[in-house]
Structure 1
Amino acid sequence: MVGAGTIGLSWTALFANAGLNVTVSDPRPDLADVVRDSMPELAASLGTSAEALLAKISISASLAEAVAEADLVQENGPERLEFKQQLFAEIAAAAPKHALLTSSSSGIVATLIAAQLDEEAAARMLIAHPFNPPQLMPLVEIVPGERTSESATLAAIDFYRALGKVPVREHKEVQGFVANRLQAVVLKEAFSLVLQGVVTVEELDIAMKASLGARWATIGPFESYHLGGGPGGIRHMFAHLGANLTGDDSGVTEADVEKLINEVERSYGSGAAAYAKLAAARDRKQIAVNNALKSAVE
């Protein structure tokens, strides 16, 4: 674990809780204290003890020593390209030739980070971006670079899935990846609504938690719109709402719409039987989420 900030410490707790031996490296002089002091809160969130986690964790001020026997290196340094390029050059020089080299970067793509690495090291380097906090949120975005090998990509997916994460492979590099880009759109509108005086900060958060937040815990936007069309599905939604779904100035063509519809129907099925099955599953999950939240609040 390279970097002992919030993300690095959260990853450390998750890895240790999975029974992995974790070596944490960070140049900060208080590294031992930071790791020790962070574990009680992280352990509580994982349903274990700080002592159990710390038994699997060691620290090292030397980056080279920390990665010398690693099977996977998870980098959590500052979001500065030149810094990450230099850091991965040092990691690649010291880590075993089989080690996966992953970055928690929230926006910088692997192709740029690995630009100065040789072919062998670049083939093992990719993005493994968590959603914060990593020890609790299921998502990890797996984003290979232009020179990342398929075998390294698949090995990373298997590794994070074995940790209980939900890995999503992204097939094209875009700055910010997927989850942060979606979040940015929502936040932009949230800022606008509050600054216009439409709602307060607290009211907006309540509205989100009681609507889209609760819904998206069980189904995503495409499945939601597919179900919103009833047995006719998303095809029915587009036929009746059209540009209201995509926006008049979105540049989305009829061919684009048909492509989206076809992909949704391939993913979730179409017709009355598919709708009934999806709706029943959605309702079961939504009831479970609602009940879990009520229990947690109480």
Structure 2
Amino acid sequence: MSQQNGNKQLSVIGTGVIGNGWIARALAQGWDVVAFDPAEGAEARTRTFVKSAWPALEKRGLAERADPARLTFVDSLDAAVGGADLIQENVPERLELKREILAKLDAAAAPEVIIGSSTSGFKPSDLQRDCLQAPGRVIVAHPFNPVYLLPLVELVGGEATRDDHTGTAQRLYQSLAMRPLIVRREIEGHIADRLMEALWREALHLVNDGVATTEEIDAAVVYGCGLRWSLMGTFLTFHLAGGEPGMRHMLEQFGPALKLPWTKLEAPELTDELIDKVVEGCEFQAAGRPVAELDRRRDDFLVEMLDLVQKYWPEAEGLEGRI
């Protein structure tokens, strides 16, 4: 491992948006990063990405040894995992491909090194299946975009995973200034994506049925429930909705409404007409601004929002041990 030079090493396999987010975060925390991606132009795209993300990371605060120059690209999986303290896999969301890459990583890496998969939906037991050396250390470590700013990472162990694997992973991701959420049992989509998918399905129905445009739906979230969720989440928000008696009163008052057929549950068919409505709505909202400009606007907002959350909910610093 890289401990002898005083720095931890993150090995990143696959450098798309999520892989590059991990790279930027690790560099900002003073880690060495070794990356592998066989796609043409991958290194140039990553270095451009890090340069673009760095101003937001500076606002959040850099570790003492933070330096984009600590990034090294290599030309093989074997070269990438040598000296790794933590390996993060970010290849496209195809189960067979992930199994193939994770099996190679498992064979090449020292058996005690945690291998985290950024998968948004697959269960870790399915990912571990072809790993023969130390399958238990192959876990789900699912982050959220932009990874370099958003701190949540869902950690999910599989059938072969032991408590010490999970504990080691928790400490490593905490040292990357992440907030690990240890998912109690494996399930497709983990926790946060299942919640987001439910909202996404209902939003598509509202557009499809002509109830609202994409802009109106986003406004309902941004100026309503989203503001509350950013501090309190779902359950504590509803706890307050019950007044002084709290959640019990809220459930007594509004619980029966859960039986009403307000929601559709299943997603609508993605017809050409629905796709056109969604695309045209998003393009109208973007108002001709390129994605890079919207990225910077989002990052500036998130930096300030994270400061606010920390200010108003400082006790959240200690929640990891309760999860």
| TM bin (shorter chain) | 0.7 to 0.9
Once the two structures are TM-superposed, the CA of residue 185 in structure 1 deviates from its matched residue by 0.7
The answer to whether the 8 Å contact 2:88/2:116 transfers is: yes
The answer to whether the 8 Å contact 1:43/1:53 transfers is: no
1:61 alignment counterpart: 75
1:14 alignment counterpart: 25
2:13 alignment counterpart: 2
Change (3 A) 1:201 1:249: closer
1:38 alignment counterpart: 49
1:266 alignment counterpart: none
Change (3 A) 1:131 1:247: farther
Is 1:74–2:85 an aligned residue pair? no
Using the alignment, how far apart are the partners of 1:18 and 1:205 within structure 2?
33
2:148 alignment counterpart: 135
User: SS at 1:24's partner residue?
Assistant: strand
TM-score norm. by structure 2 comes to: 0.73
Question: What are the residue-to-residue correspondences of 1:165-176 with 2, within 5 Å?
Answer: 165-176=178-189
User: SS at 1:218's partner residue?
Assistant: helix
Once the two structures are TM-superposed, the CA of residue 195 in structure 1 deviates from its matched residue by 2.4
The answer to whether the 8 Å contact 1:2/1:63 transfers is: yes
After TM superposition, the structure 1 stretch with the greater mean CA deviation from structure 2, 161-170 or 177-186, is: 161-170
For structure 1, the 5+ residue unaligned runs are: 251-284, 293-298
Question: What are the residue-to-residue correspondences of 1:136-285 with 2, within 5 Å?
Answer: 136-244=149-257, 246-248=258-260
Using the alignment, how far apart are the partners of 1:247 and 1:163 within structure 2?
43
Equivalent of 1:96 in 62, 85, 110: 110
The answer to whether the 8 Å contact 1:71/1:96 transfers is: no
Once the two structures are TM-superposed, the CA of residue 240 in structure 1 deviates from its matched residue by 2.0
User: SS at 1:101's partner residue?
Assistant: strand
Using the alignment, how far apart are the partners of 1:242 and 1:176 within structure 2?
26
Cα RMSD (Å) = 2.5
Using the alignment, how far apart are the partners of 2:230 and 2:254 within structure 1?
25
- Deviations along 1:200-225, whole A, 9 cap, x unmatched? 21121111101111110010111111
Once the two structures are TM-superposed, the CA of residue 248 in structure 1 deviates from its matched residue by 5.0
The answer to whether the 8 Å contact 1:13/1:53 transfers is: no
4+ residue stretches of structure 1 with deviation over 4 A? none
User: SS at 1:147's partner residue?
Assistant: coil
Using the alignment, how far apart are the partners of 1:78 and 1:190 within structure 2?
26
Once the two structures are TM-superposed, the CA of residue 54 in structure 1 deviates from its matched residue by 2.4
Equivalent of 1:107 in 121, 128, 148: 121
Using CA pairs below 8 Å that are at least 6 residues apart, which structure has the higher relative contact order?
Answer: 2
Amino acid at match of 1:54: P
Once the two structures are TM-superposed, the CA of residue 238 in structure 1 deviates from its matched residue by 1.7
The answer to whether the 8 Å contact 1:72/1:100 transfers is: yes
The answer to whether the 8 Å contact 2:86/2:172 transfers is: no
Amino acid at match of 1:195: N
Using the alignment, how far apart are the partners of 2:50 and 2:128 within structure 1?
32
Using the alignment, how far apart are the partners of 1:53 and 1:108 within structure 2?
33
Amino acid at match of 1:18: Q
User: SS at 1:79's partner residue?
Assistant: coil
User: SS at 1:89's partner residue?
Assistant: helix
2:135 alignment counterpart: 122
1:282 alignment counterpart: none
- Deviations along 1:136-178, whole A, 9 cap, x unmatched? 1121101111111111101111111222211111111111111
TM-score norm. by structure 1 comes to: 0.79
User: SS at 2:146's partner residue?
Assistant: coil
